[in-house]
Amino acid sequence: MFTNGSKYYLGLSVVSAIVGVAYMVLVNPNDLGALALFVLATAAGTVAGFSLFIRDGEVATAAEAIEAARRAPGASIWPIVTALGAATVLVGLATVPAWFIIGIAVFCAGGLEWMIQGWAERASADERWNEEVRTRIIGGLEFPGLAAVVLVLIAYAFSRIMLNASKNGATVIFMIVATVVLIIGSLVAVRPGFRGRSLATVVTAGSVVLLVAGVASAFAGEREELTKAAKEDHFSAEHRECGPEKSKYWDKHANNTVSLRSAVIATVTVENGEVYAQAVGLQTKVGSISVPRSNPVALMFRNKDEKEYRLTVNLGTQEVAQTGVKEEKKDCTQLTGKNQEQILLLKITKPAENPDEPYTLTVPGLKGEIKVIVP
Amino acid sequence: MRNNRIFRRLAPIPALVAAALLTGCARNAPQDTFVPKGPNAEKIDNLQNIVFPMAGIVGVIVLVLAGYIFVKFKDKGQPIPSQAHGKPVVEITLTVIPALILTVVGVFTFRGVFDLAETRDTELIINVTGQQWWWEYDYPAQEKYGITQPIITSGQLVIPEKTKVLLRETSRDVIHSYWIPALNGKKDAVPGRIHLLRLEADQPGLYAGQCTEFCGLSHANMRMEAVALSEADFAKWVANQQRAYAPPASGLAKEGETVFLNQCVRCHQVNGLKKTDGTPAIAQPEQNVYSGAAPNLSHLMSRNTFAGAMFDLVTEKCRKDIWGASSAEFGATYLEGVTEDCLNQNDLRAWLRNAPAMKPMYADPTKLGASGGKYRGMPNLGLTEDDIDKLVAYLLTLK
């Protein structure tokens, strides 16, 4: 039952597993050594399974082996794919890391396919059986893999088109694409005759159009306001704009994200020229807000007045790179119009060291301050 | 003869059922979910009292029927019975009965969920922050309770009795879950989010809890205790927590303060403690600890536990006195704090000697690439016995 090759690999697998357990008990259960031994056990077990399945690649008779070896290798696309993967790896090394990862994936996929095909062509003298055994080994991976690649390409191409088109144009494109998909789906449902070659032609043509438009859009770049918003770098940590408003193109709806709103610890409201705070959970107004040390929390700033205001957190002063020069350390929201809200994220690592410089929240242009206390 | 054989085969079943039932028995079970001690836990208990029997009856019926079918129709070589499809009466009955059961369960469950989520009548808020492997409690300023400056503590959550307390939970590192079974259900503490949990205790006393979301190596040692005090006793506790720091005048405790300034203040804050130059001693746990926080030790000896409530600060006898005190006497007993006679010197000294040996922690930063070389838990500081004597004397002054 067990072939010579499978016996060897099975033995290696079992011994590795036993040594792995011993290593965990005697040396260190969290060490990489144990992990390496279990990986070896798994890999050897897999190879043992292969060996059993293909009977160590041995054909039944010498004559059969000669016949199988005599046949010239069939035409194959996989060497090209593997070479393409290797080239992409090199390009990725010199340019963008993403290409390196894509190259590795293509190289591995191409190499695996090439290896399986090469082995299957010589598995026996029976070509039909060879084809069958190749399909049994790799067929289950080929279609899902191909489908995943096509889906990624389509999603990527579609996203490039949507980012390139104007806001209104993107809406129209989305409606058209959705309508076309609905019509094709309905046709498939009600007209059985539409399913064969006609459907394949339509889907192929649609995919080609989508890919061409996607590539063209990727080269054309994103629409103007997105490019300008990226240049503003509004949401970066270095972005400080507590003075006059300069940013124009930033995403003004970013504050509505659920993750930000779920961390609100207090709201600060401007109403009839008064600034007041309410801690989440209490209905009363409070003069101070307690912020846990070293943990990010969000403050909700709500403006109910006509004039635009921003919320500023004053975190004392700090020395500029051991120059002796001190600068104010503060952060703020953008200007907020009537009945609008903005989130101010705070992460304070320690209490105010100088009693004369307590942490406070203020709204420039209005009187009053709210203390921020880090216990 | 055949009956005897069946009887012999079924004989172990009552024993197994009895054994299963016995596992539910315990003499000292402070985390019993079926003994509510507050209105929120009471609501959950009321719901359990409806749902568990219904689920139990359905479960028993299903299991008995399945067992009967396995025995009755097991393959003995008999011909396959005729197959029947489409019995509208049976199908409708078997759809309607579960639907009715689920409707009843759903009505009570939804009502309970909305009741437990009510926060509009909150009287006291407390920020609860979880980190590996302890809980921090900070009380924002609230004039109604005399809290003029935020109070920060850990291990024991102190609340006034018969008061609607709202916990605002979050986490500094991984997901934890806060659960005092006698006072309410559990609620996850998630980094970057603030979750609300209402607690209310009917009477003064100690209520035990446990982190219920696996959070790493010492998850099982991440405990907590809620301490309910009468309104008057809570006011005393607040006043004590807001009392200014009183440095030891001289002696061993004064030397212990110096050791604390040299060693412990890198991570642990004691509010009001000053360096030798007179400037405030501000701890910088963010530079040493992965979560960015270590327990604030102000008024440490007003608590009964330390190290994530894993160890008692008081001896076993004193602990029994506190846990066993009547409701009327509990406040006074608890507020007495840790006296020199009651101090659990063994565990405290062992902790100071080598904390990682007492509680599993990732306290060796050289093996912590993923945390940027920062500790998860307290490391072995290599203190001498002399230092430990001084530190214990100093910590005893933090009433």
What pLDDT digit, counting tens, does each position of B369-391 carry? 666 678 888 988 899 999 999 99
φ/ψ of residue A20, rounded to 5: -60, -45
Among B118, B135, B143, B170, pick the best mutation site for testing chain A contact (most A Cβ within 10 A): B170
Q: What is the DSSP letter of B302?
A: G
For B128, the 3-state DSSP assignment is strand
Please answer yes or no on whether A373 and B141 come within 8 Å at the CB atom. yes
pLDDT at B42 > cutoff 80: yes
A193-207, B90-104, B184-198, range with the lowest pLDDT = A193-207
Q: Nearest CB to A293: which of B119, B142, B292?
A: B292
* pLDDT attached to residue A193: 83
Per-residue confidence (pLDDT) for residue A175, from 0 to 100? 95
Tokens of A266: 């207090």
Whether B119 shows a pLDDT value over 70: the answer reads yes
Q: By the 8 A CB rule, do A285 and A271 touch? A: no
Average pLDDT (A115-120) is 86
Determine the average pLDDT of the residues in B346-363: 90
Q: Is residue B50 classed exposed, middle or buried when 0-12, 13-18 and 19+ CB atoms within 10 A define those classes?
A: middle
**What does pTM read for this prediction?**
0.71
Does residue B185 have a pLDDT over 80?
yes
User: Distance between CA atoms of A80 and A156, rounded to whole angstroms?
Assistant: 24
Residue given tokens 């405290």 in the structure block: B348
In whole angstroms, how far apart are CA B265 and each of B255, B281, B297?
14, 7, 10
| pLDDT tens-digit map of B5-22 | 777 777 788 888 888 888
Model confidence over B51-98: pLDDT tens digits?
999 999 999 999 999 999 999 888 888 888 888 788 889 899 999 999
Q: What pLDDT score does A232 carry? A: 78
Instruction: Give the CB-side neighbour count of residue A46, counting CA atoms within 13 A.
Output: 6
As a whole number, the mean pLDDT across chain A is: 86
Measure the CA–CA gap between A364 and B35, rounded to whole angstroms: 54
Q: Are strands B205-210 and A369-373 parallel, antiparallel or unpaired?
A: unpaired
Distance CA B357, CA A51 (A): 49
Contact B297/A at CB under 8 A: no
The mean pLDDT value for B104-123 works out to: 91
Q: Is the pLDDT of residue B168 over 90?
A: yes
> CB contact, 8 Å: B370 with chain A?
no
Partner A contacted by B151 (CB < 8 A): yes
Confidence grade of residue A67 (pLDDT, cut at 50, 70, 90): low
Q: Among A347-356, A366-375, B363-372, which stretch is predicted with the lowest mean pLDDT?
A: B363-372
Give how far A105 is from chain B: nearest CA, Å: 26
Cβ neighbours, 10 Å, residue B285: 25
Query: Higher-confidence residue: B160 or A59?
Result: B160
The helix (run of H) or strand (run of E) holding residue A199 is: helix A197-220
Task: Name the percent of chain B lying above pLDDT 90.
Answer: 67
Q: Using pLDDT thresholds of 50, 70 and 90, give the confidence band for residue A245.
A: low
- Chain A residues lying within 8 Å of B241, measured CB to CB: none
Query: What local confidence, expressed as pLDDT, does residue B1 receive?
Result: 58
- Is the CB of residue B129 less than 8 Å away from at least one CB of chain A? yes
pLDDT of A317 higher than 90: no
Top-ranked range on mean pLDDT: pick from A70-79, A313-322, B215-224: B215-224
Q: Which among B122, B125, B292 has CB closest to A294?
A: B292
Sequence-separated (6 or more) residues with CB below 8 Å from residue B374: B287, B288, B289, B290, B365, B368
The answer to whether ipTM exceeds 0.85 is no
Q: Compute the distance between CA of residue B219 and CA of residue B213 in angstroms, rounded to an integer.
A: 8
Contact present, B372 and B359 (Cβ < 8 Å): no
AA identity, residue A343: I
Q: What mean pLDDT is predicted for residues B88-110?
A: 92
Query: Is B113:B107 a contact under the CB 8 Å cutoff?
Result: no
CB A105 within 8 A of CB A98: no
- Element containing residue B98 per DSSP (H, E): helix B88-116
**Residue B299: band (very low, low, confident or very high) from pLDDT cuts 50, 70, 90:** very high
- Chain A residues within 8 A of B194 when measuring between CB atoms: 262-265, 280, 297
Residue B362 has pLDDT above 90, yes or no: no
For range B276-282, the mean pLDDT: 88
CB-CB neighbors (< 8 A) of A264 in chain B: 194
CB of B282 within 8 Å of a chain A CB? The answer is: yes
Going by C-alpha positions, the residue among A319, A157, A164, A169 that lies closest to residue A226 is A164
3-state DSSP assignment of residue B188: strand
Name residue B129's beta-bridge partners.
Answer: B136, B170
Q: What DSSP state is assigned to residue B191?
A: B
A293/B140 CB distance under 8 A: no
Is the confidence at residue A240, as pLDDT, over 70?
Answer: no
CA-CA distance, A70 to B349, in Å (whole number)?
81
Most confident of the ranges A118-132, A138-152, B157-171: B157-171
Per-residue pLDDT band at A128 (split at 50, 70, 90) = confident
Distance, in angstroms, between A93 CA and closest chain B CA?
26
Q: Which two tokens stand for residue B111?
A: 């009502």
